[in-house]
Structure formats: structure tokens, C-alpha cells
């Protein structure tokens, strides 16, 4: 009796289906069926012939299935190649547009915005650093050609009897075969006797600094891990009368709070910040909002005045201030506002930049930490970002800032009660500001300046990692580059000015050591110094002077480990760990230039440019704008939405014509330097060094052509 195959027929499709789905929607789904019931039928033919026929039939179907799978895989590979080719064509087109536009970082296309917010830079100082990079580039190109010729002549370290051949030429000056052989032998002698030891000493020194900084980073990460395991966090003191925070009665802790929002030509974001601050959940009679407008654009001034007037009519305690003499940038603006006569009636001051949007409960979660703790001078909240997923540049910034707040600020705040004030999203005790000497305009990092002086006076700081304030990240490389220049030149200015005060201050030796060595030298000076010199100068030079070398663990393993630790506070960014490592080394040229400018008081150290904002709202803002009905007030005309939309569209079109992507000459010069060194490393068969130099050179190339961040067509 033949076996039954009824169970097979219960399936919707006979056989074992193999479904292959193509990513390209132009391809359809193909089903490859396994053996059907007919393949198992037993006929009356001889056993030998039946088995042969069945075997041939199954082999034919298996071959057919294999052919289909191979074809589909070939189609998929072709699709990938097509995508790569399209991406390369797009990349080439973007590079061609950059080159044809001719806009470089030496040109200032935003003079209208920058003129009122920074000092003019000395062009001689600006080109000095670029000249040094070009010198290294041309030297590397010359040495590469020299080494290629020597390689094909047999003059390389891997050649047999190289040392014997070299010694014989040195012993007999007239024994060389040609002029090139004699020149190359002398060049090798100079390398061995002078250049190699010097470069190896510099490499070892930078490696030691690198290890010290990596150890500091590891200790901070261990401190953050301990905080998480023990669930340590600052806790505000409360009594029974403070528990009902929703009531506006005076039995709760509601001290007088002054809120300041400094601005300068930031018409994209002023509405968001003003609306967020006016909606703070705090008794109206207990806080006053100061809009400190330093704008030199009459249109922006008018728009901000109208927004303030609108909120005044809705009952908010808000005042508009505009300086006639705008000296001192942000520090001068804040100093001028603190000189108002009514400031003496307030106990605390909260500061928000123009793009920051505090939650309604911000004051209720920060101000209570001052209660019954007269030593606390500052309560700092962390930042969150509404546009962290906008492009690759914002994702990489989010990694850096997540580590800064989650690890650096939190660990320093809990264990030593000191960290650098972030300039915004913080609440100061006004008494602490006055005790520290108030705002000073001597540097471009007024926030760090006031924090250091307050710490020297004995005030303690509290960092709240669970209180977030939304803001924006720079979406263009130009804006990010200028921001980083200010953030890294200012600390070196401040270090020169504060060092005598730190030495003379009546604080413990541990606090002095933390301020001088850890806060300033290690994290503000050594980090950009070794990042640039070790990976952008010394490593390429070791390819042309192989007598000095960097081990693989310095080039690859420790940087990868440090990048892994840096990315832990932002776990969703793990796919970007390699771009993050390369981009951090790429940014080292900007940070190193800024550090040198601030340390030696060069022209660019006083550069102040307001970071460009895009005006992106959070989802909560958009929902509230949709749900909120317009209030018709007497004496106020209802705006025409169509006219407003047309005006906004015209402004955006006008702004887009001004915006453009640039070519960054220093980054391009370093890109070609690293690519030249990677080509030289092939002659020495240095595997990991070649790949690092190659990808780092490509990273510099992409940044040099401004292909990271916002793209303007």
C-alpha cells in the first residue's frame, strides 16, 4: 500500500516554500517550491530506472532552485552597487559644486550678522596655522615621491642586506652607483641619527598624555557607574508645607526668582523661549522675566518687542531691555541687567539662552535645592536636544554632550561639588554671583569664569541629571566650528587670568589640584593638544620616518575603547561609533587652533559669533500651538495667517540665498597629508596604520568639503 501524503496537502502551497524578498520595489516576490507529491509517486517500472529518474528529477529541481537563488543574490548585489555608484556620483557632484562656488572658510559671508557680535580678526594670525599645515603637506608629498623611487631601487627597510649595503656606502663615499643612491643613504643617516629619536620622543610624550587622559576618562566612567548602581542623586529638602507645590499659597517655598533670556539677532527662536518661560508653573507675583535683547537688526528688535507686549497683555511679568552700548557680549548684557534697581528684591536668577525651552516645572525642581542649604550657589540642569537626529553632525554632537552631562557634570557635581557652569538652564543664588564679583567681560566663556570665581569663594554646585531643558544643536558645520572655537579658546584665556587667583585662594590643595591639573590642563589643554599632534602630525610623519613608530594599541585599541566609553551615555548612537572616533580627530584641528589662540592671546581668541539657530520646536510645542485658540483682545488686531505665511516664506527664501556650504582649507590640507601618509604606509606594509590613515584622511576630506551637517542646494 502506498504511503499517504494527506498531511502535505493541508498546506496552502505544496512543498517547502522559499520566499526571497528584494529590497528594490521593482522586483517581484518569487516562490521556489520544494518537492511536490508527484515526486514521491511509485510506479511499476523497475526499481533501478525509477530511482534514477527520481534522482535526476530532484537534481534538476535543486539545480533550478540554486540558479534562482544565485540570480536573486546577483540582482541584490547589483542593486547595492547601483546605490554605491549613485552615492559616489552625488558625492562627486557636491564636491564639484563646492569647488565651483569657490567659497572658503577665509571668507565671511555673514558680515551683517557677525559685525555686531565679534571683533575683527587679524588675517596674518589666521593664516599662520594654515601655513604650517601646508608646509607639512608639501613635505609629505615630496617624501612620498622620494620613497617610491627608492622603493623600486631596492632602498627600503625590508630589502635584503639593506644595512650592509648602507654601511658600505657610508664607508666609501665614492662607492655609490649614482647621485640618488648617495642622497638617499644620507637621508637615511639623518633619519636614524636625528629625526627618528626626536620624533620618537614626541610620540612617547604624546602617548603618555594620551594614557593619562584616558585614565581620567575611565575614572569618570567608573564614578558614573557607581552613581547608577547606588542610585545616588541630589535630593531637595522638603517639609510638610512644601509637598503641595500646585497651590500658589505662601506656605510653600516660592522665593523671588529673576529670569533672564539674553538674545542677539535670534529671530528664529525668540518666540519658543519666551512662551516656555512665561508658562513656568510658579506664582506670577514671585518671578520676573527679563528679555535682554542685544540685536542690532531693527526688524528683530521689533518682533521681540511685539512678542513681549503680547505676553504682558496676557498677564505675564515680563520686561524688555535693549542696550544702546553693547559692550562685553553676553557677559556685558547680563551685567547690565543685574544693575537694575529692582534686582535687590530677588533671591535667585535663572538664565536661559534664546533657544532653550524649560518645562513648566523647571523652577519647582531646581529652586528647592537651595532651601536650608546656604552653601549652594548654583543648580544646573542638563540639556536635551530637539534636533539630535537631524543629520550625522547632530548625532555626533549628541554623543559628546550626553557624555559631558551624564558623566563629567554628574560625577563632578556629586563628588566634589564643582563643575563648569553651562551658561544656561541654571539657577544662581544672586548672593553667590555678587560674592564672586559678578559678570566680567574679560573672556568669551563668562559662564566658566563666574563658576571658577564662585568655587574659589567656597560656593557649592548641584547638578540635576534628571531635570532636562530642551534646546537646539548646530545643524551646519560652520556654526558648530565657530561654537567649538569659542568653547576651546575661552578656557585658555581664563586659565591665564585665573591661575594666580587659584594659587593664592584659601582652598584645599585637592581643590587647587583639581582646578589646575584636571579642569584646565588635562581636559581643556592636553586633550586637543595630543589629539591633533599625535594623530594628525606625528602618526603621518612616522610613515616617512619609520625609525620612529607608534604601536597598534595607541593607534587603534585605546581610541576605540575610549570612544566606546564616550558613547555609553547615548546607547542609540552605537552604530556611529566609528564615525564618532574619526570626527573627533577631525575636529582636533579646530580645537587645537582655538586652544593655541586662547593660550597666547592671538587675534582669533576674541572671536565671538552667535551660534545659528534653525528654530525647531519640540513635539510638545507643536501640540500646544495646535490646541491653543487665539485670544481676541481689545485693541489688538487678529493676524492674517496667509500674510504671515507669505512673509515667513519670503524670509526663508532670502535666508537660503545667503546660506551656502564652504570649503575648509585647513581640513583639506590635512586630508591630503593623511592620504599621502597612508600611501607611504603601503611601502612598509603597516596594516592598521594604513587603514587608520586612509579613513581619517577621508573623514578630513568630507569635512573639508562641508559634506557633513546641513547641505544647502
Q: Which residues are catalytic?
A: 294, 447
- Please, what sign has the CA dihedral across residues 294, 300, 302, 304? negative
Question: Residue 189's beta-bridge partner residues?
Answer: none
For residue 289, which of 362, 352, 360 has the smallest C-alpha distance?
Answer: 352
**What's the CA gap between 644 and 641, in Å, rounded?**
5
Cα separation, 67 vs 61, whole angstroms: 10
Outline where 505-632 has alpha helix (H). Answer: 509-513, 527-532, 539-544, 552, 558-567, 577-599, 619-627
Q: Tell me how far the alpha carbon of residue 479 is from its chain's centroid.
A: 12
Backbone angles phi, psi at 398, to 5 degrees: -60, -35
Beta strands in 478-536 (DSSP E): none
Q: How many CA atoms lie within 13 A of 83 on its CB side?
A: 8
DSSP annotation of 267 reads: T
CA distance 566 to 85: 34
* Strand ranges in 41-126 using DSSP code E only, listed in sequence order: none
Sign of the torsion formed by the C-alpha atoms of 164, 170, 171 and 174: positive
In the three-class reduction of DSSP (H, G, I as helix; E, B as strand; rest coil), residue 253 is classed as: coil
CA distance 33 to 696: 49
Contact indicator for 288, 346 with CB cutoff of 8 Å: yes
How far, in Å, CA of 538 to CA of 549, rounded? 9
- What is the enclosing helix (H) or strand (E) of 108? none
Burial of 100 (0-12, 13-18, 19+ CB in 10 A): exposed
- For residue 374, is it left (φ>0), alpha (ψ between -120 and 50) or beta? alpha
C-alpha distances in angstroms, 77 versus 7, 21, 67, 89? Answer: 38, 14, 15, 18
Q: DSSP secondary-structure letter at 574?
A: G
Number of Cβ within a 10 Å radius of residue 511: 18
Look up residue 663 and give its DSSP letter. B
Under 8 Å between Cβ of 427 and 366: yes
Residue 419's SS3 state is: coil
User: CA–CA separation, 174 vs 182, rounded Å?
Assistant: 9
The DSSP call for residue 476 is B
Cα torsion angle, 294, 300, 305, 311, sign: negative
Amino acid at each position: 500500500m502506498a504511503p499517504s501524503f494527506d498531511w502535505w496537502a493541508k498546506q496552502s502551497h505544496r512543498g517547502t516554500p522559499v520566499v526571497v524578498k528584494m529590497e528594490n520595489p521593482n522586483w517581484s516576490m518569487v516562490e521556489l517550491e520544494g518537492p511536490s507529491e508527484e515526486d514521491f509517486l511509485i510506479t511499476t517500472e523497475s526499481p533501478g530506472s525509477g530511482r534514477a529518474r527520481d534522482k535526476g528529477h530532484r537534481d534538476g529541481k535543486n539545480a533550478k532552485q540554486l540558479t534562482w537563488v544565485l540570480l536573486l543574490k546577483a540582482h541584490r548585489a547589483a542593486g547595492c552597487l547601483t546605490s554605491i555608484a549613485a552615492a559616489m556620483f552625488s558625492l562627486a557632484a557636491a564636491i564639484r559644486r563646492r569647488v565651483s562656488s569657490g567659497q572658503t572658510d577665509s571668507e565671511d559671508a555673514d558680515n551683517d550678522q557677525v559685525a555686531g557680535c565679534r571683533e575683527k580678526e587679524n588675517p596674518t594670525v589666521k593664516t599662520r596655522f594654515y601655513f604650517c599645515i601646508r608646509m607639512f603637506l608639501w613635505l609629505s608629498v615630496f617624501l612620498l615621491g622620494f620613497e617610491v623611487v627608492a622603493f623600486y631601487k631596492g632602498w627600503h627597510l625590508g630589502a635584503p642586506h639593506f644595512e650592509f649595503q648602507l654601511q658600505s656606502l657610508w664607508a666609501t663615499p665614492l662607492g655609490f652607483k649614482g647621485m640618488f643612491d648617495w642622497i638617499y643613504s644620507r637621508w637615511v643617516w639623518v633619519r636614524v641619527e636625528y629625526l627618528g629619536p626626536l620624533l620618537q620622543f614626541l610620540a612617547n610624550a604624546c602617548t603618555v598624555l594620551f594614557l593619562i587622559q584616558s585614565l581620567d576618562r575611565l575614572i569618570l566612567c567608573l564614578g558614573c557607574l557607581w552613581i547608577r548602581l547606588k542610585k545616588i542623586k541630589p535630593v531637595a529638602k522638603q517639609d510638610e508645607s512644601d509637598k503641595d507645590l500646585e497651590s500658589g499659597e505662601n506656605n510653600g517655598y516660592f522665593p523671588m526668582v529673576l529670569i533672564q533670556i539674553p538674545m542677539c539677532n535670534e529671530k528664529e527662536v525668540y518666540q519658543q523661549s519666551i512662551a516656555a518661560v512665561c508658562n513656568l508653573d510658579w506664582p506670577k507675583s514671585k518671578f520676573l522675566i527679563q528679555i535682554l535683547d542685544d540685536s542690532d537688526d531693527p526688524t528683530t528688535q521689533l518682533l521681540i518687542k511685539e512678542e513681549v507686549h503680547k505676553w504682558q497683555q496676557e498677564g505675564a511679568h515680563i520686561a524688555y531691555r535693549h542696550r544702546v552700548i553693547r559692550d562685553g557680549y553676553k557677559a556685558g548684557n547680563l551685567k547690565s541687567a543685574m544693575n537694575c534697581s529692582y534686582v535687590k528684591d530677588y533671591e535667585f536668577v535663572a538664565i536661559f539662552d534664546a533657544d532653550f525651552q524649560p518645562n513648566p516645572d523647571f523652577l519647582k525642581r531646581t529652586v528647592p535645592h537651595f532651601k536650608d542649604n546656604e552653601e549652594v550657589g548654583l543648580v544646573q540642569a542638563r540639556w536635551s536636544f530637539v534636533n539630535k537626529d537631524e543629520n550625522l553632525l547632530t548625532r555626533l554632537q549628541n554623543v559628546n554632550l550626553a557624555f559631558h552631562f551624564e558623566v563629567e557634570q554628574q560625577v563632578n557635581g556629586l563628588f566634589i561639588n564643582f563643575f563648569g557652569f553651562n551658561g544656561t538652564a541654571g539657577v544662581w543664588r544672586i548672593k553667590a554671583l555678587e560674592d564672586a564679583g559678578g559678570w566680567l567681560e574679560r573672556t568669551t566663556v563668562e559662564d566658566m569664569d563666574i563658576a571658577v570665581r564662585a568655587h574659589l569663594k567656597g560656593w557649592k554646585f548641584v547638578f540635576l541629571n534628571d531635570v532636562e531643558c530642551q534646546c537646539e544643536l548646530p545643524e551646519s558645520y560652520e556654526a558648530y566650528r565657530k561654537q567649538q572655537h569659542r568653547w576651546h579658546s575661552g578656557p585658555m584665556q581664563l586659565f591665564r587670568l585665573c591661575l594666580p587667583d587659584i594659587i593664592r585662594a584659601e582652598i584645599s590643595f585637592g581643590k587647587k589640584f583639581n582646578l589646575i591639573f584636571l579642569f584646565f590642563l588635562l581636559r581643556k589643554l592636553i586633550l586637543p593638544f595630543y589629539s591633533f599632534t599625535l594623530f594628525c602630525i606625528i602618526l603621518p610623519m612616522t610613515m616617512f620616518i619609520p625609525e620612529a613608530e607608534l604601536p597598534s594599541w595607541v593607534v587603534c585599541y585605546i581610541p576605540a575603547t575610549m570612544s566606546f566609553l564616550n558613547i555609553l551615555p547615548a546607547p542609540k548612537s552605537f552604530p556611529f561609533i566609528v564615525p564618532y572616533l574619526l570626527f573627533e580627530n577631525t575636529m582636533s584641528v579646530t580645537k587645537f587652533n582655538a586652544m593655541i589662540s586662547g593660550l597666547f592671546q592671538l587675534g582669533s581668541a576674541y572671536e565671538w559669533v552667535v551660534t545659528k539657530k534653525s528654530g525647531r520646536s519640540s513635539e510638545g510645542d507643536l501640540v500646544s500651538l495646535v490646541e491653543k485658540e487665539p485670544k481676541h483682545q481689545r485693541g489688538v488686531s487678529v493676524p492674517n495667517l496667509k500674510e504671515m505665511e507669505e512673509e515667513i516664506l519670503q524670509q526663508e527664501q532670502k535666508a537660503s540665498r545667503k546660506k551656502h556650504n564652504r570649503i575648509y582649507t585647513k581640513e583639506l590640507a590635512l586630508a591630503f597629508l593623511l592620504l599621502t601618509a597612508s600611501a607611504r604606509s603601503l611601502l612598509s606594509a603597516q596594516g592598521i596604520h594604513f587603514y587608520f590613515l586612509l579613513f581619517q584622511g577621508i573623514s578630513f576630506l568630507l569635512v573639508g568639503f562641508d559634506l557633513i551637517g546641513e547641505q544647502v542646494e
